[in-house]
Amino acid sequence: MAEVYVSSDDNIEKSIKRFKKIVDREGILLEVKKRRYYIKPAAEKHEKSKKLERKRKKKVMKTIKKF
């Protein structure tokens, strides 16, 4: 749970910036976007394998020297 304590003499903009940084660091928005719609376990597994394949291809392309 992201919490930011603001005292009476703190700047509101800085407090909001701290809150956004904490939320981003904890990955709360990514989790909300991921859980917005239900994804079947098989579809989730398929997407995961596709992601790993793209990552592998990208790594291979980086190692190959382009002339």
The predicted-structure confidence for 5-35, as pLDDT tens digits, reads as follows: 888 888 899 999 999 999 999 999 999 998 9
Residue 3 lies in a domain: no
Residue identified by tokens 């909300």 is 32
What are the tens digits of pLDDT across the range 44-61?
999 999 999 999 999 998
Range of the domain at 46: 12-63
- Assigned token pair, 44: 């989730």
Residue 31 lies in a domain: yes
- Give 29's contacts (C-beta < 8 A, 6+ positions apart): 23
Residue 7 lies in a domain: no
pLDDT at 63: 87
Residue 49 lies in a domain: yes
pLDDT at 52: 97
Residue 4 lies in a domain: no
Residue 47 lies in a domain: yes
Residue 25 lies in a domain: yes
Domain count, the chain: 1
pLDDT above 80 for 66? no
pTM of the model: 0.56
